[in-house]
Amino acid sequence: MKKKIRILFLGDTQGEPGVAMFKKWTPILKEKHKIDAIFVNGENSAKNGKGITPELVKEFKKFGASVITSGNHVWGNKKIYSLIDDKNEILLRPANYPSVCPGRGHIIIDVDGVDIAVINIQGRVFMAEDLDCPFRCVESLLTFLKNRAKIVFVDFHAETTSEKQAMLHFLNGKVSGLFGTHTHVQTADERITEEGTSYITDLGFAGALNSSLGVEYNIILNRFLTQMPAQFKIEKNGPMTLNGVWVEVDTETGNAVHIERVNITDSVI
C-alpha cells in the first residue's frame, strides 16, 4: 500500500466545451502530478448544460474518472435515471435527497489498495431548502464509514460561501478533504487545516472563460437588464478554462499533506 496518494478534484464540467477540456487535460495533469485517481462533478456535462447522460458517464470513465459527483442538476436528463440506480456505477447524487430517489450519495473505491470514501451532499441556502440537513446527513454517513475507510472526501454542492465554510468547521479533522462546487467560480482559499483537512470553498468549473458560468453572457446580461426569461445556450467559443485542485494524503493517518490549485486556460480544444 502506498504511504501517500494523490487525487485530482475537478469542478462542474459545463457542456461540450467542459467535457472537451476534461478529455484533453486530465491525461496531462495525471502524468504531471502523478495522480492516482480523478474525481469530477459532472452534473452540467450534457450538451445543454443541465444533467448528465449514460454516454457521458462512459466518457468520463474512459478518460480516468473514478467518481462522478453531482448536485441540483443531476436529474436534468431523464436518461440517467436508470443508470444512477445501478449500485455498481460511479455516479453519485447528493446524499441528503429523499431516500426514495434513485442512486446513492456515497461510495467507497479502491485506489491502489487504499479504500477511499467519497460523499456528495447539497446545501440548502438559496437552493432546495426542503432537503435533509446536509450537516446531519454527512455526520451520519461518517459514523457509517468510520471503520470502512480512513480517507474520506466530501463534495459540498452549495451556493453560499458561508454554508461551505460552516461545513469546514463542522467536519474539520473528520475528513481528508472538503471541496465546494456549484458556483462555477474558483476561489483562491485552498488550504489544509491544522487537523489535516484540505479545503477550497469552490473548485470552479470547466467551460468557456468569456461567459456567464459557461452560458453565453449576452443572454444572461439581457436577463439581468430586462428580467425577462430566456433560454440558456452554452458558450462554445474559446478561450476555455479547467479548474480544480489536487491533494496528497497520508494513507496511514488520512490527513492531507499537500493541496494545489489547478487553473488552466486553453485557447484550443
Query: Taking a C-beta distance cutoff of 8 angstroms, is the pair 163, 123 a contact?
Result: yes
What is the separation, in whole angstroms, between the first and last Cα of the chain? 37
CA of residue 263 relative to chain centroid, distance: 15
- The values of phi and psi at residue 195, to 5°, are -85, 0
- The values of phi and psi at residue 22, to 5°, are -60, -50
> Bridge-partner residues for 120, per DSSP?
155
CA of residue 200 relative to chain centroid, distance: 11
β 240-250/4-10 pair status: antiparallel
Mark whether 106 is an active-site residue. no
Catalytic residue among 73, 157, 182, 184, which?
73
* DSSP type of residue 155: E
Distance in angstroms (rounded) separating the CA atoms of residues 176 and 214: 30
Distance in angstroms (rounded) separating the CA atoms of residues 68 and 90: 6
**Listed residue (223, 219, 243) closest to 233, CA to CA:** 219
**Listed residue (50, 52, 30, 47) closest to 39, CA to CA:** 30
Query: Taking a C-beta distance cutoff of 8 angstroms, is the pair 119, 155 a contact?
Result: yes
**Catalytic residue list:** 73
